[in-house]
């Protein structure tokens, strides 16, 4: 999230307007938000189960 305290007044208004728009959009489209979250969590679960999120893979070792 952007720290608005370090922005100019114009930039702050822009960020706040964007946040207000997105908040209103999410309130009007809860089904789309729910589907997006579900898709994200499914992708994260697949990555976790496949081991794709491990820090060091076989190709990252110094021996290869």
Q: What is the pLDDT of residues 1-39, one digit of tens each?
A: 788 889 999 999 999 999 999 999 999 999 999 999 999
What is the reported pLDDT for 37? 96
Task: Measure the CA–CA gap between 56 and 51, rounded to whole angstroms.
Answer: 10
For 47, residues 6+ apart whose C-beta sits below 8 A from its C-beta are 53
pLDDT value at residue 2: 82
pLDDT in tens, 40-49: 999 999 998 8
pLDDT top residue among 51 and 57: 51
For residue 27, what are the CA distances in angstroms to 14, 15, 18, 33, 39?
20, 18, 14, 9, 19
Q: Which residue has the higher pLDDT, 59 or 1?
A: 1
C-alpha to C-alpha distance for 7 and 51, rounded to whole angstroms: 40
């Amino acid at each position: 999230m952007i720290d608005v305290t370090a922005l100019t007044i114009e930039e702050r208004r822009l960020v706040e307007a964007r946040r207000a728009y997105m908040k209103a959009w999410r309130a009007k489209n809860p089904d789309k938000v729910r589907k997006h979250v579900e898709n994200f969590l499914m992708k994260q679960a697949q990555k976790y189960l496949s081991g794709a999120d491990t820090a060091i893979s076989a190709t990252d070792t110094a021996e290869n």
